[in-house]
């Protein structure tokens, strides 16, 4: 067996494992039952309703990159899939961290960077739209959700409005379902007896709810989305599309930005957008309300929170500024402005983006590799580039995963 055959065997093995892990994850989300809670074979098979559309979209995305690279005669590998599943310990996951192709040579052309970068997200997005339409057009009747949450049936078809927030995934199973049906989710969260996790909205999901469903009675809210596998697959596809299309650094969106505006403008725009992204991510991490506890322990926690946040921003600014003192100044100024804005306007961002900010700023980088051939894009490519940026806006969820009470 030669080296290429071994590589293909590894890629095939990773794909098979990813099919299995995403199927487990799909069953866990849609049915609300982990393997350690007694998932049955039928439950596992139901998970294919999620894993098949989700992996199809992911595969089309990666092969969009692959075939475009091959068209330009770039040396590139087939996709490597990354399985990731924590259901065996009772933690929710989506079964994968995505997939990637390896470009095994330097790209010297601005046009080629653009073509390879834009092809994957657009290809995957088109298929995700198809599954979004299919998912809303084939919504099951209300009895479907009663099978998963029998406690909802007491409220009838308008249970979501009457339950005032109960329509979420309950993570702790020590609640009495009969009692739970007569109190709001906020009550259970405030008393520490339950936690909830649900998916935030984006423009496309809102449009789908308004215009694609033939019967409004069966349309799930964002808090029940995880029980509808095809819609969940489409939502997650939009989420990953938006992440890839962030117009920063060497992400697919960064390649699009580089192609549209060139190296000099890319460096400026990428830094501005990255700073805005980081600003939103940390907004509300620490506010003046945290000073309400004036005990020594409270003051200590307040100072530690500030220190942790400044370190996070310092790491994130690694590729923004080369000098350590500049990164420290950047982190301090950003925190000060965030603290003032969050404290006075009472607004919060989404701290979940901080990890992605570190990934971009510390490892991926906010700059784009230079090219030898800096020929501008054709008109058709420019239009495609702006379409990709519009797709980013339509697909982006400011708060993609919301966790309460944990």
Same domain, 394 and 288: no
Catalogue the long-range contacts made by 172-178 (C-beta closer than 8 Å, 24 or more residues apart): 173/37, 177/150, 177/151, 178/151
Has residue 275 got a pLDDT over 60? yes
402 bridge partner residues: 198
pLDDT of 154 reads 64
Tens-digit pLDDT profile for residues 207-231: 999 999 888 888 888 778 999 999 9
Same domain, 272 and 398: no
Instruction: Let me know if residue 86 belongs to a domain.
Output: yes
Q: What are phi and psi of 19, to 5 degrees?
A: -60, -45
pLDDT (average), residues 304-314: 95
Instruction: Let me know if residue 170 belongs to a domain.
Output: no
pLDDT (average), residues 186-204: 64
Has residue 379 got a pLDDT over 80? yes
Same domain, 276 and 349: yes
198 bridge partner residues: 402
Domain carrying residue 110: 3-139+236-261+371-404
Other CB atoms within 10 Å distance of the CB of residue 156: 9
Say what the pTM is.
0.88
What is the token pair recorded at 401?
């995963």
Total of domains in the chain: 2
pLDDT of 160 reads 59
Distances (CA, A) of 86 to 36, 114, 120, 387: 11, 36, 28, 36
Give the pLDDT band of residue 240 (cuts 50, 70, 90). very high
Contact 333, 284 (CB under 8 A): no
Has residue 100 got a pLDDT over 60? yes
Instruction: Let me know if residue 221 belongs to a domain.
Output: no
Q: Quote the mean pLDDT of the chain.
A: 88
Same domain, 377 and 321: no
Contact 200, 398 (CB under 8 A): yes
pLDDT of 156 reads 59
Instruction: Let me know if residue 164 belongs to a domain.
Output: no
Tens-digit pLDDT profile for residues 124-179: 999 999 999 999 999 998 888 888 877 676 665 665 555 544 444 443 344 444 44
Same domain, 28 and 122: yes
């Amino acid at each position: 067996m030669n080296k290429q055959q071994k590589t293909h065997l590894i890629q095939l093995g990773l794909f098979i494992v990813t099919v299995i892990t995403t199927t487990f994850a799909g069953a866990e989300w849609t049915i609300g039952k982990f393997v350690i809670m007694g998932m049955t074979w039928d439950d596992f098979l139901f998970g294919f309703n999620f894993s098949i559309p989700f992996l199809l979209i992911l595969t089309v995305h990666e092969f969009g990159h692959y075939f475009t690279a091959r068209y330009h005669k770039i040396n590139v590998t087939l996709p490597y899939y990354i399985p990731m599943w924590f259901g065996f310990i009772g933690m929710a996951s989506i079964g994968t961290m995505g997939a990637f192709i390896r470009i095994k040579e330097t790209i010297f052309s601005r046009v080629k960077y653009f073509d390879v970068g834009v092809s994957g997200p657009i290809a995957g997005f088109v298929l995700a739209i198809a599954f979004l339409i299919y998912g809303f057009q084939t919504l099951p009747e209300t009895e479907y959700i009663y099978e998963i949450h029998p406690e909802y049936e007491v409220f009838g078809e308008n249970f979501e409005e009457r339950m005032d927030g109960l329509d979420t995934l309950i993570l702790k199973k020590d609640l009495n379902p009969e009692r739970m049906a007569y109190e709001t989710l906020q009550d259970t969260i405030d008393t520490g007896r339950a936690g909830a996790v649900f998916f935030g909205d984006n423009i496309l999901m809102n449009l789908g709810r308004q215009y694609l469903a033939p019967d409004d009675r069966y349309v799930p809210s964002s808090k029940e989305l995880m029980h509808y596998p095809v819609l969940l697959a489409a939502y997650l596809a939009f989420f990953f599309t938006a992440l890839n299309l962030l117009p920063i650094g060497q992400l697919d969106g960064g390649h699009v930005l580089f192609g549209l505006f060139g190296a000099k403008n890319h460096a400026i725009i990428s830094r501005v957008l990255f700073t805005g992204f980081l600003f939103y991510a940390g907004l509300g991490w620490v506010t003046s309300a945290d000073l309400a506890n004036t005990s020594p322990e409270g003051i200590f926690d307040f100072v530690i929170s500030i220190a942790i946040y400044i370190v996070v921003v310092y790491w994130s600014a690694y590729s923004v500024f080369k000098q350590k003192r500049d990164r420290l100044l950047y982190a301090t100024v950003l925190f000060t402005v965030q603290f003032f804005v969050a404290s006075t306007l009472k607004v919060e961002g989404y701290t979940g983006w901080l990890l992605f900010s570190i990934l971009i700023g510390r490892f991926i980088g906010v700059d784009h590799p230079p090219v030898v051939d800096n020929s501008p894009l054709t008109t058709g490519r420019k239009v495609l580039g702006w379409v990709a940026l519009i797709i980013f806006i339509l697909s982006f969820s400011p708060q993609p995963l919301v966790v309460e009470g944990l």
